[in-house]
Amino acid sequence: MSIFDGRFSVEIATASGIESVTKRELRKLGYEPSGASLGRIRFDGDFKDVLRANIFLRTANRVRIVISQFVAQSFDELFENMLCVRWQDILPKDAKIIVDAKSQKSKLFALRSIQSVAKKAIVSSMQRAYGVSQLQESGASYNIEIAIIRDYVAVTLDASGDGLHKRGYRTYLGDAPLRETLAAAMLQLSVWNPDRPLIDPFCGSGTIPIEAALIGLNIAPGMNRSFACEGFYGAPDVRKEVQREAEELITRDRRLHVCGFDIDPDAIKLALKHAERAGVKNYIHLQTADMRGLSSARSRGIILTNPPYGERLMKGNEVEALYRDFGAVCRKLDDWCVYVITSFKGFEKHFGKKADKIRKLYNSQIECNFYQYLAPPPKREAADE
Ligand SMILES: C[S@@+](CC[C@H](N)C(=O)[O-])C[C@H]1O[C@@H](n2cnc3c(N)ncnc32)[C@H](O)[C@@H]1O
């Protein structure tokens, strides 16, 4: 019997700082998440839930199936516990077995040795089960992670394949693009909702406006790609059912007020290509424009953006001047909320205002702050007074 016919613990890997958003997303999908340590959240589910998590979660990096958990303080203990798993119920005879290892505050910390002992145990178990002296490993890849935290080992099987930030719409990379998962998290951390105007004045390849449109139209981010778990040996075929669920949830008749601007016409060309591939080109407005000319006739909108940090795209003094001008532009939109992610330490000083809230987030490996400026509450109408 395949383990994929039963229930198991599902592990969601998410970036540090956005665990609460991913948990909220899981609850919306009908799951009860537990634990959120070191960017790992779990829930109980079956194979269909693994696919639903892959297709619907906007902020998760990866979905894994928990295969085994035990305590190991020596390589013998690691080997014996790995050997006990019925790997023949999980892996086909020709599986290409890739083992990755992580360790924190544990007796076993040499990653190469952890990988090779774990792999040796898996191979021995498979050879015994299939009655062969050698495995060909010529088939599909199976990525197994051995994560050891305080001597507690979690053995998981990657169910995503490519990272979940790869939605399938961004095939061309712009300058310093933002991860799709992080853009979706920033939107969900903000007060934006699809009825409110949204502007990204430094939109680059369009990640923030595109993710906003996907949220606004309720398009599941993983609808247009495949996942490692779909090729698992003995796994039930549930894609059609989950795909149908995702299609039925789309609301294409919604009007959005989402705009992206960038001073670089090539960036806007790229953003338009990406928007088209994501199926949202007709719902967002993308245009070449200098942030310094930004204004809006709409009220109570949201500016949410990822400006140059001064690390890859601009020199420090140019960035300072840009942030000063950006501050002046934002002050004119005085009933708008402003959200900015940057790693530039003196951002508030140059922008000209202390943020109401700051959250530490990571853009790939770069430590950033997410500065949040809330608008004053709406003025009460004369009739209310
Ligand atoms: C960090 S990148 C944005 C990346 C974007 N979030 C993405 O996912 O591709 C910053 C962008 O700001 C743009 N930029 C720089 N100065 C600008 C200005 N004065 N007005 C508008 N855009 C500007 C750059 O061309 C660049 O595309």
Q: Are residues 365 and 264 in the same domain?
A: yes
The reply to whether 285 and 368 lie within a common domain is yes
Do 356 and 279 lie in one domain? The reply is yes
Tally of structural domains, the chain: 2
Report CA(330)–ligand 1 centroid distance (Å). Answer: 16
Q: Are residues 206 and 124 in the same domain?
A: no
Indicate which residue's Cα is closest to atom 1 of ligand 1. Answer: 308
Q: Are residues 201 and 338 in the same domain?
A: yes
Binding site membership of 202 for ligand 1 (Cβ less than 6 Å): yes
Residue 186 covered by a domain: yes
Residues 323 and 200 in one domain: yes
**198 in a domain, yes or no?**
yes
Residue 165 lies in a domain: no
Q: What is the mean pLDDT of each run of 10 residues along the chain (385 residues)?
A: 90 93 97 82 97 98 97 98 96 96 96 98 96 94 96 97 94 77 98 98 97 98 96 94 98 96 96 97 98 96 93 73 97 96 94 97 91 85 49
71 assigned to some structural domain: yes
Residue 175 Cβ inside 6 Å of ligand 1? The answer reads yes
Ligand 1, atom 26: closest residue by C-alpha = 204
Residue 323 lies in a domain: yes
Q: Is 177 close to ligand 1, i.e. is its CB under 6 Å away? A: yes
Do residues 235 and 94 both lie within one domain? no
Is any atom of ligand 1 closer than 6 Å to the C-beta of 291? yes
Q: Is residue 175 part of a domain?
A: no
In a domain, 279, yes or no: yes
Nearest CA to ligand 1 atom 12: 202
What pLDDT shows up at residue 316? 60
Relative to the CA of 325, which ligand 1 atom is closest?
Answer: 19
Q: Same structural domain for residues 360 and 253?
A: yes
Q: Is 166 domain-assigned? A: no
- Tell me: do 377 and 243 sit in the same domain: yes
Phi and psi at residue 347, to the nearest 5°: -55, -50
- Residue 107 belongs to what domain range? 3-158
Best residue for ligand 1 mutational test, from 165, 167, 172, 175 (most atoms within 8 Å of Cβ): 175
Prediction pTM value: 0.94
Q: What is the CATH number of the domain that holds 40?
A: 3.30.2130.30
What pLDDT score was predicted for residue 348? 97
- Which residue's CA is the closest to the ligand 1 atom numbered 3? 204
**Residue 36: its pLDDT value, please?**
61
Q: Are residues 89 and 138 in the same domain?
A: yes
